[in-house]
Amino acid sequence: MIRTVAVAGYRSLQYLVAGLDRLTVVTGANGTGKTSVYRALRLLADLTRDGALTTLAQDGGMRSAMYAGPYTGKRVGIQLGFASDDLSYAIDLGLPQPGATLFGLDPEIKVEAVWAGPVLRPASVLADRHGTRVRTRGDDGAWRTAAWRLGTHESLMSALADPSETPELYAIREQAKGWRFYDHMRTDPDAVARRPGIATFTPVLAPGGEDLAAALTTIERVGDADLLATTVADAFDGATLELAEGEDGTCRILLHQPGLRRPLGAPELSDGTLRYLMLVAALLSPRPPGLLVLNEPEQSLHPSLLPALAALVLDAAERSQVVVVTHAGDLVRALRPEAQVLELERTNGSTTIAGQLTFEGPAWTWPSR
């Protein structure tokens, strides 16, 4: 389980170190930095999974993603990291040297480190890189410097995650591959989720929700079918969900609601109803992730659905570590008794955690450049 997430120099996050629990709710008023926290987690996941900088490029590049608050006189860059009981990771991204690259928006990786346990100490470091130089620690505890050099834009995760040569890097990368993020699930009239799907084994809902019919069918056949039925009935006043498979191998979503003479198909469902079914598919996955992050799951949902959503989240937290980013007060209140709640506020342009001073919170040390 991830115990600590640390971010510095990213958007409104000048310096933020937050402890995570089995279920963590991130909340706050509009403009306090909730989206920055979500994007930082997603960027950290992409970097850890395969060293990809694609997410940063989609954010507008390094200069667009850097801290946007008042100038503090500190070095310019973005730092991201997380700590768990077993393995932890941090990366330090800086601006490229003038003339060093033809792509000025791309970051230059200054430092990376992987260490054992939650707290960075010299003796716990298992692998690191400073600039282009790479070191790994052997079984005898001695450092080995690689004979080759990394490019300034290449991550340890993309270059050294080999199960035999660097098992720790491989393990931490595989751990991050199990993290899931749900944000922009499409419910517009042209959304793929409104069309019949292929009835194939789909234990994990796609990030955009396009394979919803197959994911729900998989839950019904190999997952918790009773909980699926109960969840739909509780949310929609006794409604029943029918997942019909045609002779051509396609499956369709049909929702039978009391008082209606016929079921409604996916093209007829409201955006809120369809989005709720997507959240059901994500939270009842027969293959639970190590970490599940939901960004503003309340979008398009009527407030009456929030208690049922909260019950789903609490159930999912029995199998996965869950982070919910939300500004829905009813959802926060429903989850608060079982969750750690991080309420964000903005002070002088910088996002902080209410009631936590800048350098309070979990112990955290950045690897030095």
Helical (H) or strand (E) element with 88: strand 87-94
* Mean pLDDT of all residues in 34-42: 95
- CB 212, CB 278: distance < 8 Å: yes
- Alpha-carbon distance of 119 to 196, in angstroms, equals 49
- CB 332, CB 27: distance < 8 Å: yes
On the 0-12 / 13-18 / 19+ scale of CB atoms within 10 A, 89 is buried
* Mean pLDDT of all residues in 103-129: 88
pLDDT digits (tens, 9 = 90+) for 312-341: 999 999 999 999 999 999 999 999 999 999
Contacts of 35 (CB under 8 A, 6+ apart): 295, 325
Q: Where residue 165 falls among pLDDT bands split at 50, 70, 90?
A: confident
List phi, psi (to 5°) of 255. -110, 115
- Alpha-carbon distance of 304 to 282, in angstroms, equals 20
Q: Taking the domains of the chain in order of start, what are their residue ranges?
A: 2-178+343-353, 181-342
State how far Cα 93 lies from the chain centre.
Answer: 20
What tokens does 214 get?
A: 């197959």
Q: According to the model, what pLDDT value does residue 132 have?
A: 87
Fold agreement (2-178+343-353, 181-342) = yes
Q: According to the model, what pLDDT value does residue 161 have?
A: 56
pLDDT digits (tens, 9 = 90+) for 255-265: 999 999 999 99
Q: Where residue 74 falls among pLDDT bands split at 50, 70, 90?
A: low
* Of 74 and 137, more confident: 137
Assign a CATH topology to domain 2-178+343-353.
Answer: Rossmann fold (3.40.50)
- Alpha-carbon distance of 90 to 367, in angstroms, equals 7
Contacts of 252 (CB under 8 A, 6+ apart): 196, 197, 213, 243, 244, 246, 265, 266
What tokens does 311 get?
A: 């019950």
Question: Mean pLDDT, the chain, as a whole number?
Answer: 90
Over the Cα atoms of the chain, what is R_g? 22
Q: Where residue 220 falls among pLDDT bands split at 50, 70, 90?
A: very high
* Of 53 and 30, more confident: 30
Coil, strand or helix at 189: coil
Does the pLDDT at position 181 exceed 70? yes
Residue with tokens 């001695």: 142
Long-range contacts of 90-95 (CB under 8 A, 24+ apart): 90/6, 90/120, 90/366, 90/367, 91/47, 91/155, 92/366, 92/367, 92/369, 93/56, 93/62, 95/62, 95/63
What tokens does 365 get?
A: 């040390």
Q: Which of 38-42, 135-139, 184-188, 359-363 has the least mean pLDDT?
A: 359-363
Assign a CATH topology to domain 181-342.
Answer: Rossmann fold (3.40.50)
- Alpha-carbon distance of 87 to 119, in angstroms, equals 10
pLDDT digits (tens, 9 = 90+) for 186-211: 999 999 999 999 999 999 999 999 99
* Of 343 and 150, more confident: 343
- Alpha-carbon distance of 172 to 167, in angstroms, equals 9
* Mean pLDDT of all residues in 135-161: 82
Buried b / exposed e along 109-119 (16+ C-beta atoms within 10 A):
bbbbbbbbebe
Q: According to the model, what pLDDT value does residue 67 have?
A: 84
* Mean pLDDT of all residues in 61-70: 78
Q: Which of 23-32, 45-54, 120-129 has the least mean pLDDT?
A: 45-54
Q: For 33-137, where are the alpha helices, taking DSSP H only?
A: 34-50, 54-58, 62-65
